[in-house]
Amino acid sequence: MSRRLVVHLAPFLQGGAGRAIATLACAQRLAGDEVVVATSKTAEPGFENYAEYLEAIARSGASLIEVDSLFKRNALLNAAAEAGIRSMLRSHLPDVVHAHAAIPARIGMTLRTPIVHTMHGWSRNKSADHAAEDLGIMSGVDIVVFPSLASQREVEALGGRFRSSAIVPNGISAALPESRLPDVLTDLPARRAEGARVLIFIGSLTSQKNHAVIVDALPAIARHHDAFAVFVGEGPEIASLQNRATALGVADRVRFCGYVKDAASVLTVADLLVQPSLSESFGVAVVEAFRAGVPVAASRQPALNELVHETGCGWAFEATSAASLAGAAIEALRVSEPQRLSLTARARQLFQDRFTDDRMIEAYDEIYRSVRR
């Protein structure tokens, strides 16, 4: 294959989407492509670049530019971002621009080259005008890629129409990460050996993730199991969750780790991953649990249904019901060892068949070929 110039435009590199972008960019650079990754320089509440992703891109030899802004809907800042990207490209025309949100896609269109637009998630906080703007941008790119069928259907239900579309799940490495426990969790292996059970959430602590329902369900779960809830991730909801746990009398059963590099390494002390999100386009933490052999309980949300419930790889609960979550968790923690091993083996096989980073990279390589024809 001939050497390509690939430009990735992302509002921020964080969470599962940020990992997918970094993984893809690094693999392309390793394969011999010239790769440029542009992202926003200044963090916003709930949005930031993870240092581990920036470091991985830099180590790969890809070019990295942080410029404001590929996030804000501000014409002057968007023009400044475009100018910074053009300066790095030095008048070279990219073979493909891969935009990872609508505003980056609009900026990418000014480069007049094939545009692949991955729609990593549709925010429910958009105004009607912003939604119409983003749908209009999607209709003008060469192809819109979704991480799940559910996320595509959601956008289509809002009126989204595309020249072409594809579904490419966000893939992760087949290799398990080395176990690294934050100090706040180092007592849990011994507690589990004594019979305690650990429920883990991995992700940014924002209102959309619906973490409060885990805290609300914990008193009921604790009546059946010596249970702890662990939250792995940064975000603005930590203080309110701490206060909620104190009010419910379970503060001693709740642990907050904050940001953890390669957060899946914490799954070594998990008995159950809990995903209570109100809205998801995919579910990287769920896929990480499949890889690690950790059972999953997830809310009845379309993208999570695809991963967990429709595949028979976990338990379902109503996102806004603490009683529903408690029931699912109590049942999951009660299953026999043969039942647990059968379920996690099925989930691990699903991961290997559909969700490795190799499969993601191959799928995008074919998409790039298709838009360059």
Kindly list the distances between the CA atom of residue 160 and the CA atoms of 14, 100, 140, 227, 360, in Å, as whole numbers in the listed order: 25, 17, 11, 44, 24
Instruction: List residues bridging with 34 in a β-sheet.
Output: 5
Pairwise CA distance, residues 135 & 158, whole Å? 8
Alpha-carbon Rg for the chain in angstroms = 21
- Report domain extents, the chain: 5-171+356-372, 183-354
Instruction: List residues bridging with 118 in a β-sheet.
Output: 145
Pairwise CA distance, residues 87 & 83, whole Å? 6
Name the architecture of domain 183-354.
3-Layer(aba) Sandwich (3.40)
Pairwise CA distance, residues 13 & 50, whole Å? 6
**In whole angstroms, what separates CA 343 from the centre of its chain?**
23
The model's pTM: 0.92
Is CATH 3.40.50.10470 the classification given to domain 5-171+356-372? no
> Residue 9 belongs to what H/E stretch?
strand 5-10
The pLDDT tens digits along the chain (373 residues) read 468 999 999 999 998 999 999 999 999 999 999 999 999 999 998 899 999 999 999 999 999 999 999 999 999 999 999 999 999 998 899 999 999 999 999 999 999 899 999 999 898 788 999 999 999 999 999 999 999 999 999 999 999 999 999 999 999 999 998 888 999 999 999 999 999 999 999 988 888 889 899 999 999 999 999 999 999 988 888 889 999 999 999 999 999 998 898 889 999 999 999 999 998 999 999 999 999 999 999 999 999 999 999 999 999 999 999 999 999 999 999 999 999 999 999 999 999 999 999 999 999 999 999 998 7
Nearby residues of 22 by Cβ (< 8 Å), 6 or more positions away: 13, 37, 53, 56, 57
Asked whether 56 and 27 are in contact (CB, 8 A), the reply is no
User: Is there a common fold for 5-171+356-372 and 183-354?
Assistant: yes
